[in-house]
Structure 1
Amino acid sequence: MKNIGLGNLYWNEVIKVLRNIIPVYDKVNSAISLGKDNQFRKEGIKKSVFPGNHILDAGSGYGNMSKLALDFVSQDITINFYDPIPEMLAEIKNRFKNYDNSYFLCSGIFEKIPYKSNSFDAVLCGYSIRDSITLNEAFVEIHRVLKKDGRLLIVDLGKPDNFIARFFVSFYLKYLLVIMAFLAAGREGLPFRTLYGTFLRWPRNKDLNDLLSKTFSKVEFNKKLMGGAIIVIAYK
């Protein structure tokens, strides 16, 4: 099987960019997603997280996915925040100080998740799995740590199968995104142009669906914005 993902060299470049944009991360994310980022997160979370669940917020960043799960599903969940950037995880304590649920912090990559098999009811990947080094290996690892009937939720950019739709999404990410990021955060937003490089390495929607289907028993694939955004739930 052909490896899909950023590869080690580009992954290191992307992580460096993400580390440098921490102060404006949320502000720019909201702007470049046309304000739809949390809407899509909530839609997926409500279908994949349930009271009493033990969840892995993979590529958690500040924990935006988990915060929405606590606010819109239940505070009766246990969260493991998992991210390759310790500086992102360092913000968790401040952002979750008003919540009483149990949570844990761990830094690492998708391809080598340091948890036992069958540990989690759900794994949440909000705008993060696209930044994996090797997507194939990431899905195998996520499948391993999920419990029987566990769910993988992916909320991310989509890469439309239709050529015309793909052209418009690509044009937006290559040219207009930089303008939106600059308007939202000034020069600090300009490094978000790296997102276009991750999009180029991201599989088309049909190919992503096929890749998930090789590992997971069932895949629900929901396309938004002409296929330029996706909400995917894959079941173990």
Structure 2
Amino acid sequence: MGLGSSYWSEVIEVLREIIPIYDKVNSIISLGKDVEHRNRGISGRVLKGNKILDAGSGFGNMSKTALKLTDGEISITLYDPLVPMLKNTGSHFEKIPDMANGVFEHIPFRDEEFDAVLCGYSLRDAINLRVAISEIHRVLKKEGRMVIVDLGKPDESFIRAGVAFYLRCILPILAFSAGGKLGLKFGTLYGTFKRWPQNKKLEELLLEKFSRVEFEKDLMGGAIMVAAYK
């Protein structure tokens, strides 16, 4: 379960191309709910003094949210497969955080190193989802938290079809209006959604490794905020 290496390479190349419009378009296609969802996912799960890994960090939006919620009293490492994405993060932070380059399936950190791992609109792009979850579990301290904010794939077929219609037909129009022709490349979201497990299945996958999962939904299950506790 996951994108597989071939499709992952296609998605990564698209992400590389859309760096200039990434944040602008993401805000619009999330119907302006991305900030709210990050706040809901992180609040109470990242605490002052925590050491954080922002996995699939992009420009570090999850980390910036965590910094605000903890008055800046956390340690952050941004981790992303795209070096150009990491290079563009400097202007987004008052103090440039630690950074590392790599994929979910081979996280280059010691066992039990982090208090929380944040995955904001990124875990869906894992090559192998089960391996990715296992690696995140490994680098978390005892009682550490994995926080996921992402698209949800509703369990109810009718609602799931509605989300798929939005991603396949409406999202490209919104992305084009915000980012021009480059915005059309956000259409790959539909491909990642097709390979993403339904909400109940994702919860089951997390419970294979984690002791407890809090699963919160919005937009009829089309958006999820999840916390998995080691």
Q: TM-score range by the shorter chain?
A: over 0.9
Q: Residue 231 of structure 1 aligns to a residue in which SS? A: strand
C-alpha separation in 2, matches of 1:72 and 1:143: 24
Q: Which residue number in structure 1 is paired with residue 108 of structure 2? A: 114
Q: Distance in 2 between matches of 1:76 and 1:202?
A: 34
CA distance in 2, matches of 1:74, 1:136: 34
Q: Which residue among 166, 174, 182 is the counterpart of 1:180? A: 174
Contact 1:46 1:73 (8 Å CA) reproduced: no
Q: Which residue of 2 aligns with 1:89?
A: 86
Out of 2, 7, 27, the position equivalent to 2:4 is 7
1:210 and 1:93 map into 2 onto residues whose CA distance is 37
Q: CA RMSD in A?
A: 0.8
1:20 corresponding residue in structure 2: 17
User: Which of residues 144, 148, 151 in structure 2 aligns to 1:154?
Assistant: 148
C-alpha distance in 2 between matches for 1:30 and 1:234: 25
Q: What SS does structure 2 have at the residue aligned with 1:216?
A: coil
1:35 to 32, 38, 52: 32
- Mind listing any 5+ residue stretches in structure 2 that lack a counterpart? none
Matched, 1:53 2:88: no
1:234 paired with 2:228, answer yes
Cα distance in structure 1, aligned partners of 2:182 and 2:88: 19
Does structure 2 conserve the Cα–Cα contact (< 8 Å) formed by 1:55 and 1:123? yes
Aligned 8 A contact 1:129 1:135 in 2? yes
- For 1:84 and 1:38, the matched residues in 2 are separated by 23
Instruction: Answer whether contact 1:62 1:89 (CA < 8 A) is retained.
Output: yes
Q: Which whole-Å deviations, capped at 9, do the CAs of 1:117-163 have from their partners, x for residues lacking one? A: 00000000000000000000000000000000000000000000001
Deviation at 1:83, TM superposition (A): 0.1
Corresponding position of 2:124: 130
Q: Output one character per residue of 1:61-89: Cα deviation in whole Å (capped at 9) or x when no partner.
A: 00010011112223111001000000000
1:218 equivalent in structure 2: 212
Counterparts of 1:70 and 1:76 in 2: how far apart (Å)? Answer: 7
Picking from 162, 165, 178, the partner of 1:168 is: 162
For the residues of structure 2 that align with 1:40 and 1:47, how far apart are their CA atoms? 13
1:93 Cα shift? 1.7
CA distance in 2, matches of 1:115, 1:185: 36
Gaps of 5+ in 1: none
TM-score, normalised to structure 2, is 0.98
The whole-number CA distance in structure 1 between the counterparts of 2:114 and 2:2 is 24
Give the distance between the partners of 1:135 and 1:44, measured in 2 at CA: 20
Distance 2:47 2:71 in 1: 7
Which runs of at least 4 in structure 1 moved beyond 4 Å after TM superposition? none
Distance 2:182 2:48 in 1: 38
The percentage of counterpart residues that share the same residue type is 59
Amino acid at match of 2:107: I
